Amino acid sequence: MIKHNYNVIGVMSGTSLDGVDLAHINFEINDGKWSYQIFECDTISYSNEMISKLKNGIHFNSSDLSELNIEYTNLLGNIISEFIVKNNISNLDAVCSHGHTILHQPQNGFTLQIGNLPEIAKITNQKVVCNFRVQDVLLGGQGAPLVPIGDKILFSEFDYCLNLGGFSNISFEENNERIAFDISPVNTVLNFYANTFGLEYDDKGKISKSGNISTELFDELNTLEFYQKPYPKSLGFEFVKEIILPLLENYPISVKDKMRTFTEHIAFQIGEILQTKTGKLLISGGGVYNDFLIDRIKNHLPKTEIIIPDEKTIQYKEALIFALLGVLKLRNEINVLSSVTGAKQNHSSGEVF
């Protein structure tokens, strides 16, 4: 008998490296319509040592990567266990965990999210649903973005759902199917430059706002090959490290000017995607707190109604949706859309330990 209520924890670690997001969620399904309630939630920051390893994992050999995977699985398992104990959570149906993306090369048929080893179930003493991207890549898909099915199921009242995290990505309905893709880097670049001032991030976009746009850099960014490609398409940290940062570093301008120019680039690319569209745009993710970036997006989308949700949904939307992906996997229902990833077919992805 299929359940109608699910008591789960969603776990997400994004490319912006601000920590592990955990959200205790109850899902209910009635007459085919899903609803949710977010209870306790928290973000657990990484140590400086772990941030360094996660940043540099892209360059590790297979032996060091394997060691990092074990270390990270142990860390993640302990973080989840402490969250359960601290909040006195019981009778869980599952912990639904994304892990942390180290390598994402769908063009080479490969993606790696560490922290998804079977041992995580033993450490947490819970049923764990994880490793959602691998199957899609094997089916010829991008393995990303995976959030759009959650947008479709939980946020259908909005015309477009935009997430501003390490990267920006968007999802919407087109010709009766869900379309979604990555737009550009966001916090992976802005945080990199904020770090040079000894800051974790650019608070409210104040540093970016104080800079000037380099028209030449702005134009060169917008002509990069990725932006001309049709969707489905997705981005990994490789794109930032191999293309974006070398390009920015090639310009002898101040860090403030680089951040100002890149902020305009982010907003411009979002505007390019939605320039002919009107309706309601839901924005979530850490970039929502960058007031200057939001102002620039509004400037590029004068006909769009921009909606920023409640605090828990802003911060924990991805954890919420990966929790839903896990629940759908438990029900053996579709949780990845081929219209979004480019895979051969819709499918129910993830591993259950």
What are the extents of the domains in the chain?
5-142+344-352, 148-312
Q: What percent of the chain has pLDDT over 70?
A: 100
The per-residue pLDDT for range 125-144, each reduced to its tens digit, is: 999 999 999 999 999 998 98
pLDDT band, residue 233 (cuts 50/70/90):
confident
Class of the CATH-defined domain 5-142+344-352: alpha beta
pLDDT above 80: residue 52: yes
Q: What is the pLDDT of residue 275?
A: 79
Q: Looking at the DSSP assignment, which residues form a beta bridge with residue 292?
A: none
Secondary structure of residue 296 in the 3-state scheme: helix
pTM score: 0.84
Q: Looking at the predicted structure, is the pLDDT value of residue 200 above 70? A: yes
For the segment 278-296, the average pLDDT, to the nearest whole number, is: 95
> Radius of gyration of the chain from Cα atoms?
19
- Residue 302 — pLDDT band, cuts 50, 70, 90? very high
Q: How confident is the model at residue 94 (pLDDT cuts 50, 70, 90)?
A: very high
- Position 63 scores a pLDDT of 96
pLDDT at 124 over 90: yes
Q: Which residues, in sequence order, are CB contacts of 22 under 8 Å at separation 6+?
A: 9, 10, 11, 41, 42, 43, 44, 79, 80, 83, 319
132-136, 140-144, 192-196, 326-330: range with lowest mean pLDDT: 140-144
User: Are the CB atoms for 174 and 148 separated by under 8 Å?
Assistant: no
Q: Quick one: which of 111, 120, 106, 108 has its CA closest to 9?
A: 120
pLDDT score for 103? 87
Inter-residue contact 195 to 104 (CB < 8 Å)? no
Label residue 270 by pLDDT band (50, 70, 90). very high
pLDDT greater at residue 276 or residue 132: 132
pLDDT of residue 273: 93
**Average confidence score pLDDT of the chain:** 94
pLDDT average, residue stretch 39-52: 96
Q: Report angle CA 235, 322, 315 to the nearest 5 degrees.
A: 80
User: What's the burial of 289, exposed, middle or buried (CB within 10 Å: 0-12/13-18/19+)?
Assistant: middle
Write the CA distances from 240 to 55, 97, 146, 184, 186, integer angstroms.
12, 25, 20, 9, 10
Compute the average pLDDT of residues 136-154. Answer: 92
What is the C-alpha separation between 160 and 251, in angstroms, rounded? 35
**What is the total residue count of the chain?**
353
Residue that wins the pLDDT comparison between 18 and 333: 333
Q: Among 3.90.700.10, 3.40.50.970, 3.30.420.40, 3.20.190.10, name the CATH number for the domain at 148-312.
A: 3.30.420.40
Question: For position 271, what pLDDT does the model report?
Answer: 96
**Can you give the pLDDT at residue 172?**
94
Cβ–Cβ < 8 Å for 342, 142: yes
Residues above pLDDT 90, as percent of the chain:
83
Residues pairing with 170 in the sheet? 162, 181
Q: What integer pLDDT is reported at residue 25 of this predicted model?
A: 98
Residue 17: the pLDDT is: 84
CA 132, chain centre distance (Å): 13
* Mean pLDDT lowest among 2-6, 39-43, 87-91: 2-6
Predicted local confidence at residue 1, as pLDDT:
62
Mean local confidence (pLDDT), 236-253: 95
Are 5-142+344-352 and 148-312 equal in CATH topology?
yes
